[in-house]
Structures are given as C-alpha cells and as structure tokens.
Amino acid sequence: MTSVGLQECLLVGAVLFVAGILCMVTKRNAIGILMGSELVLNGANVNFVAFAYFHDLFNIEGQIFALFTIVMAAAEAAIALAIVLNFYNNHVTVDVDAAEDLKG
C-alpha cells in the first residue's frame, strides 16, 4: 500500500477544479456560478497547500498564496453578490440568460 503523495493531493485539486468549471457552465443561477468559482479557487488552493507540504523549500510560499487566494475569494464574492443584487434589481431574476441587454 503506497502512502499518500503529491499526486493524490493534485487529483483532489483537479476534481475540485473540474467540478467548479462544470458548476459555472451548467448553472443558470448567477449565485450558482459564484459557487462554481469558489470551487475552482479551492481546487487551486489544495494544489498550493499540497506543494507547500511536499517540498520544504516552498512551505511558506504555498501557504501564503493559499491565504491570498482566500482573501481574493472573499473580495470576489462580495463584489459578485453586489453585482447580482443590482442585476436582480434591474431584471427581477438571477437567471444569467436574461443578461442580454448588450446583445447587438
């Protein structure tokens, strides 16, 4: 039985990333798309922390990048929700298919 290594962690990260992409693609609710982007960022974070753990040289870098990503995700969620609320105010729906005002 092999012990858990870097590749297993990267696999988890890849699964999270792909699930996030799928979530962003298939959801029509704007908040669902936001959830997908959180999943994508989490997949990246898992990779960062895994690299940090498995190579001593990058321990600080990996964790600090993960921290910055989390902060960015918080900022992104706040802004995106504000946009969604505005969108709802104007269109009375959160269906992103309704966002076609700029279509030529």
Partner 1 sequence: MSFADFLFWIVALWTGLSAVMVVVTQNIVRAALWLLFTLAGTAGLFFLLGADFVGAVQLLVYVGGILILLVFGVMLTAQGPFVNLRAGAGEWAVSIVVGLLLLGLLVSAFLMTDWRFLPAQPPDPAHSRYVNDLGLALLGSRDATPPGTLPGAPGPEPAERSRVAYLLPFEIVSVHLLVVLIGAAYLARARRRRGART
In angstroms, the CA 76 to CA 46 distance is: 19
Tell me whether residue 62 or residue 104 sits nearer to partner 1 (CB atom).
62
What character string, x for contact with partner 1 (CB under 8 A) and - otherwise, covers 68-87?
A: x-xxxxxx-xxx-xxxxxx-
User: Does 34 engage in binding with partner 1 (CB under 8 A)?
Assistant: yes
Residues 42-71 that bind partner 1 (CB under 8 A): 42, 45-46, 49-50, 52-57, 59-64, 66-68, 70-71
